Amino acid sequence: MAKKRKTRKQKLTSDLRSQVHHVSSVNEQQFTYTPSAHISQSTPNTVILTQDYQYVTKDLLKTAIVTGVIVAFELILFFSTKGLSG
């Protein structure tokens, strides 16, 4: 498919647009940030609390025991019902 060519009017408007853009960019002012009186902020002292997390290990142990009992009960039920059906 052939490439569409610009008409004379389109070329003039494009040229005018580029000239306007160029002129407006030249007229823009350059702003620079100059910080006034530098205020230093001290970082607050944070206290790191060391806590005893024994309750976590106790909870994990209890969870493991309960899970083991449930699995053992399921196995007992499985093998006891297997003998009845077959």
Average pLDDT value for residue range 26-51: 71
- How confident is residue 50, by pLDDT bands cut at 50, 70 and 90? confident
Q: Mind listing the pLDDT tens digit for each residue in 55-80?
A: 999 999 999 999 999 999 999 999 99
Contacts 24+ apart (CB under 8 A), 60-68: none
- Where is pLDDT greater, at 82 or 65? 65
Average pLDDT value for residue range 9-17: 87
Whether the predicted pLDDT of 9 surpasses 80: yes
Average pLDDT value for residue range 52-56: 87
Nearest to 16 by CA among 26, 4, 24: 24
